[in-house]
Structure 1
């Protein structure tokens, strides 16, 4: 999946006036962004990422309110402005109760009503805090933990309902490690000075939140110590990021009785009943050692200690929707300390993003109707199918794979479902009640609906038509259990190409390479390759072919592990290998599809650039992201995606045509000897 996904371009669709210039308004003398974005003082053979994008970075420093700056923030700002129009228009219409526009408008209005929010302070959580205060023993403690999961908090552990990895036609109950305020277990143990400083600030943050909740200085300090100690214990029994990538080792199916047997202090059947899951018989436990340790932790900490932790987890989950003191403290630690962001985004932007996050299913319906051109699905499918065709050609020509495995790979490829544009049916959110009274209550109402929507799937047939993203979401994903890719058509604007259709080099460098090619390759990366054409965790490889494939994935791990993103901090080649494989496969497939276009065949130059130059510069444009050092450090520790720089330089270093296009010679920083260049798909 791409967490930073470029705009989806649609060939042959008329651009509409509400989002960009009309075709006839285009200035033919407008500068070409592939030319103006470059920093020509940087040799492309040393650092293509900075060569392709450095000129733009110099002119556009990272705002104090952002973690990064680049193509995604630029496009995101356009989407936010459009969603803001939807929100403000809905808020002004005084729509009938229960309609989509009423819910959107009232949700947004409640978030913008800072006077009421500040006046209410922590009161919106008083009922939930009272439930925690009423805990008196282990049974009521566990019941309260279960309840908090149903309202959007996530204390002690993680839980979700999803497709069984080995029986993709059925939903299963998944339990996984969790309960950490800092998210990743390494924050609790790494000894570099930056992480140590974050831990120190985290304890101060815990104290600050405790004081805002009403504790005196002494009690706040004690509460912080208890929370930190408890979370560190949970972290000590949590697996590292890279260890979570193995679908086999993280698939431990057992009966509910067996699960209960491994945790004698936790009766999971009773918890699941409180969590609105009925008739459970089996569960899939991602990390059994975590739950054995949690069972001991339940008894080794006092009820009062657990209550302190649960209150923290609840308030931490909702701080952004409470009074300004809670919101500012939450922003200070999670954005300033952990990500280097110095100031908050404007209030309207924060509320727009939350409205979209909570009611995106409703906003999407308005967005498709008022902002998205007709014909989007068809054109996206056209490009996606072109990529699939060249993928099949590449698989047939592979010199390292046997005909037996090729046959199965081609079958899986042919059965990949492409969900593009927007869903054919929308989820029913009619039961969600939204008002202008309390922002926090609105967020909680949607969280409850989302949880119950998930829990209600258990025991029902799998709905393979369901979307995991909104049409206005800049992202894309591959689902191994459904053997499908999803590419939302949230916006057709490409910065610098307003009012005109980009040339094929742009289309196939961005849509073809970093979108369709990338997502399809996830079906054949280190994880996706373990699922068969029907979405089941099932080995379809011959032993010899699997051995060769594993050697190639290890090579890509080794390549990326050598990239020093910050002084002394390297890319985690193991954790990022799936995305790195997808990036390499994506750009290769994008290029192969581009070679079939007239622009490539006729060697058409545009803005003085050859077709090959434009294609590779377009791929560089797809990942034009400049990030703050603090955010980069956080990404290296917590994200399965390599930094943008290496999403460009990494795959291109393995492509022969790139070497020829930019005259990459031995001795250049991006040079890899031909025998060591990685070709997988």
Structure 2
């Protein structure tokens, strides 16, 4: 029950109590380390030792810590609604009822896989390929993830004021193409475990062993064939290369192997005139597979997709199988999350904005929003100054950059307009799975109604207020900072400017820089994909970003496993810019309100220590391998030890010299924003 989106939102992510008058707690540091040898361990090594990975986590850091805090607060809110009768049809009733259904394992264990039997009957019903596509559309309309690609509507990259229907590659239950194609030991282990998992849950859904084996092979054959033509995570970052706008008539002409008319009709789409096929090759691969693979093979594929999609909503044995493969085998997690946490996740997933409204009313002070507006304005001034300081940019390009900066659309805390859930009904007389189908159908219909053939809505929030994250959206040229992240260690009203600029200030600068990274720089002030650079400036920019990509390509995140500098380029540029911009803003602030040395640390030192501390984190090797394939963010350790050696002011703050291991010669440092 997933809706896929086209252009990835460029986000910040991947605590502890603060003390002392500055807001920095020295006890989190490991002073036995030297700043120039391992600044990551120096700044937060003791915190990491005191927060070892528990069996529940593949990765645990400040985002997780704060998520735990938020989760407990949200749990209290939801429990309060679920423990008392609520008026039918109200948001309180919907939240409470969905949570109770998620928590009722006794009922689900009695039901087994009974709730999905009507859907499995629909999967087995087609007698030809035409009926197969109709079935795909009917299930997709209900939010069930069965299509071998994804269909959505979002801003047209070249006409950002209007939404455009898009078709994206998809259909891979392992997520990334490399899991099907690479033959290294770690990947083979996961692929073999995946085969066993597919067989296991197909048997659990009523197939005998031989049938489950045959269907598993059909699933793997189809997914592997799609994977061979799918774009890598790095290639998907090529904005121009993932945009192919055409008329609907051209879609029918160029991709005749798919009955688009029947598919869109069943999905609930109205007639539309234009579409973008973002990755043509995997869609052509699906055409070929629809022609060559048997109807029974495709029904096996759809059957597995249904069962896999439903696994978390069925009995405990299905959840255990799902966890064992996706969390334990792939990411190294040793123990499943407690049921109440999964229940909270489910409610957040379906009714996130409704929960967010309750959350901000109780936990988000208006004073924080006003302080954030002040900080954002200060960072905008600093970024403007940084633009003016770049001697590699011409006045013409600088003018365009300033124009884009001046048109940033800023969102802080929570939306002014809340989502309307009146058309979604949650009924405790139905199974948990059936209610999630209602939610999936609601979300699909809501997306279609709001976006297909409609102008873009700049007031739409792409994260809920309780989310511990932030984002930049290139097609609306907006920066967004949900209420959830506006807490220590990211934002601390009691801390001094050095600590706040090093944490939330860098977050703000990070999101602003996304507007000028290797992807965001291709969009203008109105969110349109348009080159606003002079030819010389563009070449200078690309040469400077190449230094960043090459530097991270050489980092060994695990023995024999190198980082992917091209995949992580945008986030690394954003970290680089965020650090420079927030530092500039701190220097501006200290001209009016000078800061003193506290606990032996200068304001500049506290700034960099505060930045490093927000990335304090432990991670399992298995999860690190997964993220290295697909995550556009560098590992937390290298967001510190990889970013700071390119910041000139860091060298001065800690007296880093050429004798220090982290030292990078001036001529080899990244110098962009």
Query: TM-score, normalised on structure 1?
Result: 0.94
- Per-residue deviation, 1:492: 4.2
Aligned-partner Cα distance in 2 for 1:129–1:263: 28
Classify the secondary structure of the residue corresponding to 2:153. Answer: strand
Classify the secondary structure of the residue corresponding to 2:652. Answer: helix
Are 1:139 and 2:130 matched, yes or no? Answer: yes
Are 1:481 and 2:475 matched, yes or no? Answer: yes
Q: Which residue in 2 is equivalent to 1:446?
A: 439
Aligned-partner Cα distance in 1 for 2:472–2:92: 31
Are 1:255 and 2:240 matched, yes or no? Answer: no
Q: How does 1:185-334 map to 2 (within 5 A)?
A: 185-334=177-326
Classify the secondary structure of the residue corresponding to 2:588. Answer: coil
Q: Which residue in 1 is equivalent to 2:546?
A: 554
Residues 471, 490 of structure 1: 8 Å contact kept: yes
Aligned-partner Cα distance in 2 for 1:497–1:640: 24
Residues 256, 268 of structure 1: 8 Å contact kept: no
Q: Which residue in 1 is equivalent to 2:599?
A: 607
Q: Which residue in 2 is equivalent to 1:49?
A: 40
Aligned-partner Cα distance in 1 for 2:428–2:592: 56
Q: 1:177 aligns with which of 156, 169, 176?
A: 169
Aligned-partner Cα distance in 2 for 1:597–1:482: 29
Classify the secondary structure of the residue corresponding to 1:168. Answer: strand
Q: 2:488 aligns with which of 457, 480, 494?
A: 494
- Per-residue deviation, 1:607: 2.2
Residues 32, 42 of structure 2: 8 Å contact kept: yes
Deviations 1:188-220 (A, max 9, x none): 111221011100101011111111111111111
Residues 86, 366 of structure 1: 8 Å contact kept: yes
Aligned-partner Cα distance in 2 for 1:144–1:355: 28
Aligned-partner Cα distance in 1 for 2:70–2:669: 39
- RMSD between superposed Cα atoms in Å: 1.9
- Per-residue deviation, 1:133: 1.2
Residues 11, 511 of structure 2: 8 Å contact kept: no
Aligned length: 662
Q: Which residue in 1 is equivalent to 2:629?
A: 637
Unpaired runs of at least 5, structure 2: 1-8
Q: 1:594 aligns with which of 574, 582, 586?
A: 586
Deviations 1:244-294 (A, max 9, x none): 111111111112222122222212122111111111222101111111111
Are 1:355 and 2:344 matched, yes or no? Answer: no
Residues 491, 503 of structure 2: 8 Å contact kept: no
Are 1:396 and 2:395 matched, yes or no? Answer: no
- Per-residue deviation, 1:603: 4.4
Aligned-partner Cα distance in 1 for 2:592–2:198: 58
Deviations 1:91-130 (A, max 9, x none): 1221101111111111111111110111112122222211
Q: Which residue in 2 is equivalent to 1:112?
A: 103
Aligned-partner Cα distance in 1 for 2:650–2:187: 38
Residues 107, 434 of structure 1: 8 Å contact kept: yes
Query: TM-score, normalised on structure 2?
Result: 0.95
Q: Which residue in 2 is equivalent to 1:156?
A: 148
Residues 233, 567 of structure 2: 8 Å contact kept: yes
Q: Which residue in 2 is equivalent to 1:10?
A: none
Q: Which residue in 2 is equivalent to 1:82?
A: 73
Deviations 1:620-668 (A, max 9, x none): 0111121111001100011111111111122211111111222222142
Deviations 1:565-611 (A, max 9, x none): 01111111111101110010011111111112349963412222211
Classify the secondary structure of the residue corresponding to 2:98. Answer: helix
Q: How does 1:426-445 map to 2 (within 5 A)?
A: 426-437=418-429, 438-445=431-438
Q: Which residue in 2 is equivalent to 1:60?
A: 51
Q: 1:2 to 1:167 in 2, by over 3 A?
A: closer
Classify the secondary structure of the residue corresponding to 2:436. Answer: helix
- Per-residue deviation, 1:495: 5.4
Q: 1:464 to 1:603 in 2, by over 3 A?
A: closer
Q: 1:30 to 1:592 in 2, by over 3 A?
A: closer
Bigger mean CA deviation after superposition, 270-279 or 517-526: 270-279
Residues 152, 447 of structure 1: 8 Å contact kept: yes
Residues 23, 495 of structure 2: 8 Å contact kept: no
Q: Which residue in 2 is equivalent to 1:624?
A: 616
Q: 1:123 to 1:6 in 2, by over 3 A?
A: closer
Aligned-partner Cα distance in 2 for 1:83–1:441: 24
Unpaired runs of at least 5, structure 1: 8-19
Q: Which residue in 1 is equivalent to 2:6?
A: none
- Per-residue deviation, 1:671: 0.9
